[in-house]
Amino acid sequence: MSEGGKLYDAIKPTADASGMFENLRKLIPAVRKAGIQVFIVPHHRPRPGDFDGWQHMTPFQQAGVPGKAFEDGSWGGAFNPEFGPQSGDVVIYEHWAQSGFANTDLDAQLKQHGIQKIVLVGVVANSCIESTGRYGMEMGYHVTLVRDATAAFSAEAMHAAHEVNGPMFAHAILTTDELLPQLSITESDLL
């Protein structure tokens, strides 16, 4: 999500079109100010040998290994200082493919914090965001997507995430401006 990052140019057109960066700059501080728990769900930061012997790597994982987009210990593997974790945020175990739930502690952390409603923002809209939302819905969470606080690798992917697939699992698909006024109410009443 940082300018100069290995995937930045790939998401920049949709991030600019949706206003993702500016909307995250409004939304994340408002969420924290409202006292709503923030969960950061990072992608796996590969280390040498992590995928050795894997039988069924996804095409994204196959492309990512030589590209080292999120490599542990590299600039690309560090959190964006503007949008990354702050004191009080919960950082979830890294997810290996798409879902923030699969093979992570997200469900356990949400349950321990008494969370039943999740609001998803970030990247990639039709991959990590969508997969986490679908899995969350299946597990009984109320899922909200924020269409202008996400980005993807193409306009078609954004359309698929919010117009085609999102309505199949999300309980609400809002804009940042639609969500912000709701943040002043208590967390249990959110959405």
Helix axes of 8-18 and 20-33: crossing angle, nearest 10 degrees? 70
Does the predicted model carry a pTM greater than 0.85?
Answer: yes
Beta strands in the chain (DSSP E): 39-40, 90-91, 117-123, 142-151, 172-174
Alpha-carbon 157 to chain mean position: 15
Query: How is residue 124 written in tokens?
Result: 């990639």
Distance CA 71, CA 65 (A): 8
CB contact at 8 A, 143 and 149: no
**At CA 104, angle to CA 128 and CA 94, rounded to 5?**
65
Lowest mean pLDDT among 24-38, 40-54, 69-83: 69-83
| pLDDT reading at 191 higher than 60 | no
Domain boundaries along the sequence of the chain: 8-46+59-189
| pLDDT reading at 111 higher than 90 | yes
| pLDDT reading at 177 higher than 80 | yes
What percent of the residues of the chain are helix, what percent strand, and what percent coil, each to the nearest 5? Answer: 45, 15, 40
Task: For domain 8-46+59-189, give the fold.
Answer: Rossmann fold (3.40.50)
Mean per-residue pLDDT, 18-29: 97
| pLDDT reading at 75 higher than 90 | no
